[in-house]
């Protein structure tokens, strides 16, 4: 430990290693008394407080699967991957889809939080992120019928070398294709495992696993929690009439039935995660061909059902919705253009103005990101691919928007963004 006097280089208090203290936090706009150019702060860099937690800016890192865990355990890859966002000024970071049970992973290399041995490495990552002044949460998930699949780059290699084009990971590839579950016995697409229909006993088991993972998150020290109910994974499978054909109280044509299990799980999580921000990510639409509804029959999940679902989430005390789309219908046709999912966030914000709403989907330009918030379409923006391309996006955005923000102490000398 250094004997250097604290007034020369103050350290982050209460942590086991020395980190220079950043004041204000990296990515925070300087007060106008420090930087006269900050008389007016663009919305993207205005702090936001959610259930008592203040986030320094509105640039949130979306969950990005890395397919790099060791039997569900995070590695130093995750420390570097996640830690880099914290040192570059993101307001909040959401760790990748983290399975609550082993068979709920997307791939054999997915992250997990079903056992206490997975806590220490995640705790190390969370501690580091907090030392850099960012908030961090974990996206709890169950892959449902899309479980036991190969990592994306393996699928591509198979298609190129064997024309196999398969997605399923077999037993000798550390997969579990005979232990895949969904609301109904309907495969996502050719080449995917055929799921078994969840029994009520299995539904209870999965719900308890979510709660057990929440308790581990408390030990890890997460700031927030994101529940994955999007992209064709288990909870979104229950919501959709395309994947949920049950004839009991948990599915079928009845929207109330299809929402019942996801809402039950989220309610239990809200009760367990009582005093911290709770986010829910879900699909606004499915991008299947045809209408959302014909007469009295729901044909696919869409924006009208999403608005109803959002209202129910508000009743449960959910603090933020992360509005995504797609991933539940193998033949989906998505018109990918800049900001293609933002209108869905804007619609749900209009329907439920009191709720904090996050927009995502090909948000790549600082002015675009700022305008989404400025125009009231959403309260925060979630970025993923653009942050992989430009990890300094928060600093770049500040420069382009004309606001002075705090870079990391270690980068002040070299930084072109300073007061």
Q: Which domains does the chain have, with CATH numbers?
A: 36-411 (3.20.20.70)
In contact, 417 and 398? CB cutoff 8 Å: yes
Q: Residues 233, 261, 340, 399: which is the catalytic one?
A: 233
Report residue 36 CA to chain centroid gap: 36
pLDDT digits (tens, 9 = 90+) for 231-274: 999 999 999 999 999 999 999 999 999 999 999 999 999 999 99
d(C-alpha 317, C-alpha 350), whole Å: 18
pLDDT at 4: 55
Respond yes or no: is residue 233 known to be catalytic. Answer: yes
pLDDT at 72: 98
Report residue 64 CA to chain centroid gap: 7
Long-range contacts of 302-310 (CB under 8 A, 24+ apart): 303/344, 303/347, 303/348, 305/239, 305/255, 306/282, 306/344, 306/348, 307/347, 307/348, 307/351, 307/352, 308/255, 308/259, 309/239, 309/259, 309/282, 310/348, 310/351, 310/352, 310/355
Give the global pTM: 0.94
Q: How many CA atoms lie within 13 A of 5 on its CB side?
A: 2
Exposure string over 195-225, b if 16+ CB within 10 A, otherwise e: bebbeeeebeebbebbbbbbebbeebebbbb
Cα-trace Rg, the chain: 22
Task: Give every residue of the chain whose pLDDT is below 70, as ranges.
Answer: 1-7, 156-165, 412-419
Which neighbouring-strand residues pair with 350? none
d(C-alpha 216, C-alpha 271), whole Å: 15
Name the pairing type of β-strands 293-294 and 278-283.
unpaired
Report how far apart the first and last C-alpha atoms of the chain are (Å, whole number): 32
């Amino acid at each position: 430990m250094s004997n250097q006097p604290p007034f020369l280089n103050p350290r982050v208090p209460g942590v086991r290693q020395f980190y220079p203290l950043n004041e204000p936090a990296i990515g925070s706009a300087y007060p106008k008394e420090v930087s006269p150019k900050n008389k007016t702060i663009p919305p993207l860099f205005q702090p936001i407080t959610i259930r008592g937690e203040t986030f320094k800016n509105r640039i949130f890192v979306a969950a990005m699967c890395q397919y790099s865990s060791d039997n569900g355990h995070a590695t130093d890859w995750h420390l570097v991957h996640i830690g880099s966002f914290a040192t570059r000024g993101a307001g909040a970071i959401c760790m990748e889809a983290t399975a609550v049970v082993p068979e709920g992973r997307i791939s054999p290399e997915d992250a997990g939080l079903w056992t206490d041995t997975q806590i220490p490495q995640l705790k190390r990552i969370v501690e580091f992120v907090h030392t850099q002044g960012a908030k961090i949460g974990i996206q709890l998930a169950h892959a449902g019928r899309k479980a036991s699949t190969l990592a994306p780059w393996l699928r591509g290699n198979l298609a190129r070398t064997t024309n196999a084009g398969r997605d399923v990971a077999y037993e000798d590839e550390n997969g579990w294709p005979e232990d895949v579950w969904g609301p109904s016995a309907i495969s996502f697409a050719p080449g995917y495992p055929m799921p078994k229909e969840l029994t009520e006993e299995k539904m209870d088991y999965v719900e308890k696993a979510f709660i057990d993972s929440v308790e581990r998150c408390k030990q890890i020290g997460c700031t927030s929690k994101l529940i994955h109910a999007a992209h064709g994974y288990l909870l979104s499978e229950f919501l959709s009439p395309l994947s949920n054909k049950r004839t009991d109280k948990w599915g079928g044509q009845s929207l109330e039935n299809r929402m019942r299990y996801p809402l039950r799980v989220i309610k239990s999580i809200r009760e367990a995660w009582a005093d911290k921000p709770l986010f829910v990510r879900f699909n606004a639409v499915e991008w299947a061909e045809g209408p959302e509804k014909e007469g009295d029959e729901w044909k696919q999940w869409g924006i009208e059902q999403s608005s109803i679902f959002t209202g129910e989430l508000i009743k449960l005390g959910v603090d933020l919705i992360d509005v995504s789309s797609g991933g539940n219908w193998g033949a989906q046709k998505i018109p990918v253009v800049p900001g293609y999912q933002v209108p869905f966030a804007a619609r749900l914000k209009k329907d439920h103005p009191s709720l904090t709403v996050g927009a995502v989907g090909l948000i790549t330009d600082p002015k675009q990101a700022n305008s989404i918030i400025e125009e009231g379409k959403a309260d925060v923006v979630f970025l993923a691919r653009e942050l992989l391309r430009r990890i300094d996006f928060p600093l770049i955005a500040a420069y382009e928007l004309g606001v002075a923000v705090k870079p990391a102490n270690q980068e002040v000398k070299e930084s072109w963004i300073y007061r």
